[in-house]
Amino acid sequence: MNDASNKEPKKGGPWPSHLINRSEVRKFILDTIGRTRPCLRINRVSREALDKLEYWLREKIRSEVHSHPSVGKTFRL
């Protein structure tokens, strides 16, 4: 019986892997909030926030690649 609902999701979808280390980004956000705005008492980072940061980084990279000159062999910013 090959039931498609029992299969694991395929890798290599629209975003094959994460560009950011989500646990490290989460730690950085919470540490920064703790140092700069301790009265907020925030102790969690939403998945949506991490998704937005990931999306922003992907778009920034795409923009930089698109505007990169067509000379040389090294990608530089």
Domain boundaries, the chain: 18-66
pLDDT in 10s for each residue of the chain, 77 residues: 455 545 444 555 565 688 999 999 999 999 999 999 999 999 999 999 999 999 999 999 999 999 998 888 999 88
pTM of the model: 0.71
Q: Mark out the alpha helices in the chain (DSSP H runs).
A: 22-36, 47-66
Q: Say what the pLDDT of residue 14 is.
A: 62
Amino acid at 58: R
Q: Say what the pLDDT of residue 3 is.
A: 52
Q: Say what the pLDDT of residue 70 is.
A: 87
Q: Say what the pLDDT of residue 58 is.
A: 94
CB within 8 A of 54, min separation 6: which ones?
15, 18, 19, 20
